[in-house]
Structure 1
Amino acid sequence: MGHPHYIALGLMSGTSLDGVDAAFLETDGERIIRLGPSLCFEYSQEDKLILEAATQAALRWQFEGPRPNNFVAAETVILKSHIRAVNALCEDHREWAAELKLIGFHGQTVLHHPPKALFKGRTLQLGDGKALAKAVGKPVWYDFRTADMAARGQGAPLAPVYHQALVAYSKLDRPTAVLNIGGVGNVTLITKDGHIIASDTGPGNGPLDNWMSRNGMGAFDPDGKYAAAGEPHFPLVRKWLEREFFQQPTPRSADRYDFDVINDMDDLTIENGAATLAAFTTLAAVYTLNGMREKPRSLIVCGGGRHNKGMMWMLREHLDATVKTAEEVGWNSDAIEAQAFAYLAVRAKWKLPISFPTTTGVAKPMTGGVLAMP
């Protein structure tokens, strides 16, 4: 017999700083029983600026010396926003809220250092799990990455075991791969025999978002409109694909700011720059997939990148696989990462592993997460 199933609520705030995703999920920590309702609670412009300032301070700090003072203001924004997201989702869906047993809380990543030859990696997610548990009156599992990194794992990606459960839930043919294009890209291959192999792929939407913002064109490229209107500069893409990250064996992990290549692009128009960065993101994913031991028959794309028509077109051009968006297979892409942390919270409760040698490079399957009681 498996474990009892629970209704859990997952919370995710990605490095793109657009808001807090919250989602209900019913699971026993292995099978998905039901996908629940979800919402995105968007950060105000003021809150975004506070989080952006904390991220920039973290990049300067690099774990050396005292913590930046502005982390305190960022933690206040994170706590307030997550409480509101939980309350709003529970208010809108009382039948789910009535059965809610526990919460999975990711926090806000401001710095991620993968392990190097002689050094363990370090990662920092801002957010106070104990304060959240007290505020919402439910047990909260948080700090999912530290145990993996202490055991010399990459600490990321953590969604692969959930992707495996989603593919089983939807009865999809294997081998299939799930590509998430968020601030950073990551991919999970579910092999023909149901095993998972995963890695960060490199840049997601982060560099393209920065390019649009730096050129005064808003926070992102809507539907990949600018990328689609430009021509990629492939010599630059080839140069970027020779960076240290791509020389590491998989699984490898990255920080959003590891791919800050904009200073190479002074001569490019906005459209050509957008097309070049979209090509970089796409070809980094193709490069990672081509290095895996099985070729997927189908690729399911989730995260903001699924809206980028140029990225989707390039994936179809460069991969011998059927490329679909998450919505085309009946998933809600905007909720997947939040659902994943609901799933990981239930796995953590039952002491089931959340990271594996083939997903984070850790020596043996690892449990993770810290429990805060209300």
Structure 2
Amino acid sequence: MSKIYTALGLMSGTSLDGVDAAVIMTDGEQVQSFGPSVTVPYTNAQRQTLTDATLAALTWNFIGPAPNIFAEAEDALDAAHRTAIQTLDAGVVDIIGYHGQTVLHRPDRLKTLQLGRGQGLSDEFGCPIVFDFRSEDVASGGQGAPLAPIYHKALVDHADLPGVTAVLNLGGVGNVSLVTANDLLASDTGPANGPLDSFLDSWGISMDRDGDVSRDGMPDFFKIERWLRADFFNRAWPKSADRYDFSVLDDLSDVAIGDGAATLCAFTALSAARTIRQMGVALDRIIVCGGGRRNPTIMTMLQMELDCPVQPAETVGWDSDAIEAQAFGYLAVRVMRGLPNSFPTTTGVPTPTVGGRIVYPA
């Protein structure tokens, strides 16, 4: 190993549930060990501001002046991440990786936007901060996502898993990393918890906890088959998606809550299975991380669709709630060392790319 950094990673996903913070000790290639982690929920006011900023971004679509609410959203975002760092109480860290909040992702226009100001946090906590991880990849012709695959490979190597492992992350959007002896392949897979959470929110329910809502529902496979004709599912991998690329909720306006939830769970499972099959690699196992691993309906449907064991991340000793935050701590170290974090087979970028901007305390 080269120099070992104590890195703090910060992640806020499109589900807008809160900030994950985690410490990892690494040289940016191998994982040495893991430190503490924490999840700090957004306040209702912070969540509403970020939701409003996301909706404003969809209307703006990179045309004309940026909406004024972006500045307010960055204030809320930085405050939430400051709270997460203070709550974690990680001690002295060498570097922080700050993913920020994605409010608009349009690789077809060579643009992506993650809100979050690195300089203020760097000044406050007295260490370098890496942020804006996706823009360089997108500007170079890549999809800008997923970025965690190189970390997934490090995790698989650290766990010494034999054969071919797929790491399937089910957050707001799904993405998968296929780790083989010689290759690292990756792609977004389609919807995950994003549409399901939005559907349940319209019923005044925050999530399908333990599959309680979807368990007894009846999926509408005719609707799903129509949804799977969308352009995203016919594109070659690697491909990326935004949570709001899957506008299917109008089709469920007159559907019972259990049937709607079951339909969206099946949509998640079938789209993930379709993308994995597109990649054409026989798998020995699929390890599922992200909030979707907690939904027995999704997990059962995945196992029905795929011809290898499907298991939650905890079965191989990983802390799934911390993986994405750990990934951005790991990626921050790679950026510090000038190592690429995206590749032609993970984001479609023409050449391996070092993404992320580094700022130092003033």
**Structure 2: gaps of 5 or more residues:** none
Cα distance, 1:114 vs. partner?
A: 2.3
Q: 1:207 aligns with which of 165, 180, 195?
A: 195
Tell me if structure 2 keeps the 8 A contact 1:289–1:295: no
Which residue does 2:99 correspond to in 1? 106
- Report the CA distance between 1:184 and its aligned residue: 0.4
Q: Which amino acid aligns with 1:34?
A: S
| Uncovered stretches (5+) of structure 1, i.e. residues with no partner | none
CA contact (8 A) 1:10 1:341 kept: yes
The letter for the 1-side match of 2:8 is: L
Report whether the alignment pairs 1:324 with 2:311: yes
TM-score by length of 2: 0.98
Q: Does 1:348 align with 2:335?
A: yes
Partners of 1:70 and 1:6 lie apart in 2 by: 36
Q: Partners of 1:150 and 1:264 in 2: how far apart?
A: 35
Q: Distance in 2 between matches of 1:282 and 1:161?
A: 24
Within-5 A mapping of 1:1-374: 2-90=1-89, 93=90, 97-98=91-92, 100-115=93-108, 120-191=109-180, 193-216=181-204, 218-374=205-361
Please tell me the residue identity of whatever aligns with 1:189: L
Deviation at 1:110, TM superposition (A): 0.4
Structure 1 runs of 4+ with >3 Å offset: none
Shift, 1:121, TM fit: 2.3
CA distance, structure 2, for counterparts of residue 65 and residue 223 of structure 1: 43
Q: In structure 2, how many angstroms separate the alpha carbons of the residues matched to 1:239 and 1:179?
A: 24
Q: State the Cα distance separating 1:264 from its structure 2 match.
A: 1.1
Tell me the distance in 2 between the aligned counterparts of 1:212 and 1:89: 31
Matched residue of 1:3: which SS? coil
Matched residues, percent identical?
52
Count of residue pairs the alignment pairs up: 361
- Describe the SS at the equivalent of 1:199: strand
Alpha-carbon distance in structure 1 between the residues aligned to 2:182 and 2:313: 19
The 2-side partners of 1:3 and 1:371 are apart by 20
Q: Is the 8 A contact 1:188 1:199 kept in 2?
A: yes
Quote the RMSD (CA, aligned, Å): 1.0
Is the Cα–Cα contact under 8 Å of residues 233 and 276 in structure 1 kept in the other structure?
yes
Q: Matches of 1:266 and 1:11 in 2, distance apart?
A: 36
Q: Take 1:16 and 1:135, find their aligned partners in 2: how far apart are those partners? A: 27
* 3-state SS of 2:346 partner: helix
3-state SS of 1:37 partner = strand
**SS of equivalent residue, structure 1 residue 178:** strand
Aligned amino acid, residue 188 of structure 2? D
Residues 202 and 281 in structure 1, CA contact (< 8 A), matched pair in contact too: yes
- State the TM-score, normalized to the length of structure 1: 0.95
